[in-house]
Structure 1
Amino acid sequence: MFRGFTTINYLVDDVKAAAAWYQELLGVEPYFVRPDAEHPAYVEFRIGDSQDELGLLDRRYAPQGYSSANPAGAIMHWHVDDVQKTYDHLLALGASGLADPRPLGEPGWEIATVADPFGNVIGLMHSPHYLAMQADR
C-alpha cells in the first residue's frame, strides 16, 4: 500500500516570501513554480539524498475544512547531520523554537522542532536508521 514519502506541502499566506526563505535555508531554487515566479500559488523544491519534494502552497488552496486556528496533523521530521546546528540556523533565519534539541534515549538519535515564519512545524531528527538506509543504497 504505502510505498514511501512523495511530497510534503506547507501552507503559507505569501508563497513568494516563503519560497525566498526556503531557498535561503535549503540552498537550492525551486524546480517547479505555478502559475509563474512573479505570482506563485505553488512552488516545489527537491531536496536531500532522495530528492524529496517540499511544496509551498498558497493557504487559499487548503483542504476544505482546514482551519489554521486549530492546526493539526503530522510533524514531518527531516534527517539532519547535526540537530543543534540546524536548529540554531533555523532560529537565526527567523524560525521559532518549539522543542529544543534533545536525545531520544537510544545512542545517536536526537530530535528538535521549530515553526517556520509562516506557521508550519518542521521536525528535525538525527536518525541512525536513515543513515543505515542510505548506506544500503
Structure 2
Amino acid sequence: MTTRFDHVGLSVPDLEAATAWYCAALDLTAAPVFAVAETDLRGVMLLHGSGYRIELLHRPSARPGLTPGSPVEAAGTHGFGHICLCVSDVAAEFARLVAAGAGVSMTPRPAPRPGATMAFVTDPYGNLIELLDRD
C-alpha cells in the first residue's frame, strides 16, 4: 500500500473570487465546479503543473474561523495552520504574491533550519501560505 499527500481543502466565503485569485496568484488551473447532492456545499479542485492541489469549498452558511496574524499565532490553536509551497526564490515569490493581493504576515528571513529561507503571506481570506526554500 502506498500513501501520499493529495490536497489541502480550504473553506472560502466566495468560491468564484477565491478561484480567480488562487489561479492567478499561484498559477493553478481550475477543474469543473462540483456540488455535493442534498447540501449547499460547492467546491472546485485547483491543480498545479507540479502536482499539488488545493480544493476550495464554499457553503453560504459557513462562519469565519481563526484568521491568525502570524504562523506563531496559528500554532496556538489546534487544527489547520498553514499551507507551504517550496519555491526557488522566497523574496521574489513573496513580492509577486503581495503584488497580486496577498497580505504580509512574515517577511522573508532565515528559517529555523540552517540554510533555508521562509516567508508567510495570507490569501484574501486570511489563510496562511508559507513560502520555503530549503536550499
TM superposition score category, shorter chain reference:
0.7 to 0.9
Question: Could you tell me which residue of structure 1 aligns to residue 109 of structure 2?
Answer: 102
Question: Could you tell me which residue of structure 2 aligns to residue 43 of structure 1?
Answer: 44
TM-aligned CA deviation for residue 27 of structure 1 = 2.6
- Give the % identical residues: 30
The separation in 1 between residues aligned to 2:28 and 2:130, in whole angstroms, is 20
TM-aligned CA deviation for residue 32 of structure 1 = 3.7
In structure 2, the CA distance between the partners of 1:123 and 1:48, relative to structure 1 (3 Å rule), is farther
Matches within 5 A, 1:15-94: 15-35=15-35, 41-49=42-50, 51-60=51-60, 68-69=65-66, 72=77, 73-94=80-101
Q: Does the aligned pair in 2 maintain the 1:12–1:119 contact within 8 Å?
A: no
SS, match of residue 6 in structure 1:
coil
The separation in 2 between residues aligned to 1:61 and 1:32, in whole angstroms, is 22
The answer to which structure has the higher helix fraction is 1
Superposition TM-score, scaled by structure 2 size: 0.74
Where structure 2 has 5 or more consecutive residues not aligned to the other structure, the ranges are 36-40, 69-76
Question: Alpha-carbon deviations, 1:46-70, whole Å to 9, x = none?
Answer: 2152x111111115586xxx86146
RMSD value, Cα: 2.7
Where structure 1 has 5 or more consecutive residues not aligned to the other structure, the ranges are 129-137
The separation in 2 between residues aligned to 1:4 and 1:46, in whole angstroms, is 16
Question: Alpha-carbon deviations, 1:105-129, whole Å to 9, x = none?
Answer: 512x11111111122111111124x
Instruction: Number of aligned residue pairs: give it.
Output: 119
Q: Does the aligned pair in 2 maintain the 1:94–1:117 contact within 8 Å?
A: yes
Question: Alpha-carbon deviations, 1:74-132, whole Å to 9, x = none?
Answer: 3221101111111111111111111111112512x11111111122111111124xxxx
In structure 2, the CA distance between the partners of 1:5 and 1:24, relative to structure 1 (3 Å rule), is same
In structure 2, the CA distance between the partners of 1:115 and 1:59, relative to structure 1 (3 Å rule), is farther
SS, match of residue 3 in structure 2:
coil
